[in-house]
Amino acid sequence: MTDTPISGAKALINCLKNEGVDTIFGYPGGVLLPLYDELYDSDINHILVRHEQAGAHAADGYARATGKVGVCLATSGPGATNLVTGIANAYMDSTSIVAITGQVPTPMIGNDAFQEADITGITLPITKHNYLVRDVEDLPWVVKEAFYIASTGRPGPVLIDLPKDITTDEFEFIYPKKTRLPGYHPDVGIDDAAVKRAASMILDSECPVIYAGGGVIISDSSPELLRLAETIQAPVTTTLLGIGAFPQSNPLSLRMLGMHGTKYANYAVQESDLLIAIGARFDDRVTGKIDAFAPHAKVIHIDIDPAEIGKNVRVDLPVIGDAKMILQSLISHLQKMQTRSGAWLGKVDAWKKKHPLQYEQSDKVIKPQYVVQEIHKACPDAIIVTEVGQNQMWAAQYFQFENPRTFITSGGLGTMGYGFPAAIGAKVGCPDRTVIDIAGDGSFQMTSQELATVSKNKIKVIVAILNNSYLGMVRQWQELFFDERYSYTDISQSVDFVKLAEAYNLVGIRAEKPSEVPAAISEALSADRTVVIDFVVDPMENVFPMVPAGAAINEILDPEVAA
């Protein structure tokens, strides 16, 4: 690219531009000074967060909303360790992010230098791969490989640790066209014999259920999923991360399964004779008691990661590869299929009619489920991001999702404080979309300092706090399983969220009565900046249905039983 030697810092910027990076979420520090000096002149949009954890979550939200690789940047030592939660979160949910950390100069590594932390050692179990760059000549290779690894196969976070002297060393920069990874072959093709067998198992089944996970969204196979479901007339349930993979308005939709899934999804799985898992990993929140999960079903497991096969449940037929390619091939084998007898779908529909998601509406106190429904009514095509806990489950249950990449949530790690920074990332990645963080008063306080980020950068998101004055999900478990002993979950009267928003020169709105909910939402939608809405909701409302931890997924607590 150039014959004159350039610094590692400049080379890194070139590498990022070669990878199509236009946005970085970062926070500067001592060892990053040479790199930030280059960023100052660069046309890369650097969003200065207020805590590195938020940078990692924002990169994650950006990646999930856009399908591109999210990039975050932090300095050595505490900057790097502050990324750890965000990296672990991306790892658990298979999000493609590249995290770049500064490191002390190479001669000082291992000497407990100021702001030194062994971040490649620390992130070994929570990254798909990581690099410590020891020679500036390796830098272009490392960046090329990091983006390739993060975004291919089963995606995941990759960390690049960059010692300060590497950023100032000069070399002749050439961006490699290929990678040198003898042990990494994400392109596995498809096994035709397995696909044919899957087709014949589908033809032989009478009560099939499709169980779709986040892999469907990652592989962009929602259209194929819809075609498969309609071709074989099988109902579709999704995991939490699979929400949006299948339109919930479709008559074949069973919505979400598992601990807080619909009763009809769980009943259908339990009575199915064939479970077609696509890009899902049989998490314990999905299966409940594993020995009692889908007891009559043969299992077809379509996944790009061979290590997921048989990890949690016995699989009758693994089909390894990219879900999109596999589904296309599978559909081509099923074109001639006879219409399935209506008995199974009839049974499923009867469950749907008998056990809809429901809550008791009130005209005195705001029900959190009602807020979610009103948000859906006002803005059905919003990107919904959530925090973790009751707010997350109500958002999953009461919004109606039709499209992939419209529901962004921390599934595997369950990271409180994820939602707001992830919403910032989603908005930066999709500036024309409305982005709403459905939040809890507990979770939001874990990363609320990012109000400064949205204020300074004029980023508009809506934070809809379902404020029940409790760490609600823990309180719910204390109510149900610990004799209503609310040990350290009361967080009432500790913050005025309206004033908090105003302190950052943003808009704060409070709604205390059900009648005030629609107006609060519409005011927030029309505001020109980030809005925090404090919905004061029923403090004792619980998330139902609920399968207690360790129970079979058809052993469901419902409001009547619990009350």
Residues that bind other proteins (CB under 8 A): 120-121, 124-125, 128-129, 132, 134, 149, 181-184, 305-307, 309-311
From the CB of 165, what's the least distance to other proteins, in Å?
Answer: 17
* Six token digits for residue 286: 């999905």
Is residue 509 helix, strand or coil?
strand
Distance CA 62, CA 427 (A): 7
DSSP 11: H
Distance CA 560, CA 546 (A): 12
* Six token digits for residue 118: 């062994």
* Six token digits for residue 556: 């469901």
From the CB of 182, what's the least distance to other proteins, in Å?
Answer: 5
Main-chain dihedrals φ then ψ at residue 410, nearest 5 degrees: -90, 105
From the CB of 129, what's the least distance to other proteins, in Å?
Answer: 4
Q: Between 52 and 145, name the residue whose CB sits nearer to other proteins.
A: 145
DSSP 292: G
Distance CA 523, CA 173 (A): 52
Active site amino acids:
52, 114-115, 164, 473
Q: Are 464 and 439 in contact (CB under 8 A)?
A: yes
Is residue 484 helix, strand or coil?
coil
From the CB of 301, what's the least distance to other proteins, in Å?
Answer: 13
Q: Between 184 and 477, name the residue whose CB sits nearer to other proteins.
A: 184
From the CB of 97, what's the least distance to other proteins, in Å?
Answer: 16
Q: Sheet of 298-303: strands edge to edge?
A: 253-256, 236-238, 208-212, 274-278, 298-303, 317-320
Q: Between 188 and 350, name the residue whose CB sits nearer to other proteins.
A: 188
* Beta strand pairing call for 6-7 and 170-171: antiparallel
Distance CA 115, CA 102 (A): 10
Q: Between 142 and 546, name the residue whose CB sits nearer to other proteins.
A: 142
From the CB of 146, what's the least distance to other proteins, in Å?
Answer: 10
Q: Between 186 and 539, name the residue whose CB sits nearer to other proteins.
A: 186
Q: Between 213 and 429, name the residue whose CB sits nearer to other proteins.
A: 213
- Count each helix (H run) and each strand (E run) in the chain, helices first: 24, 20
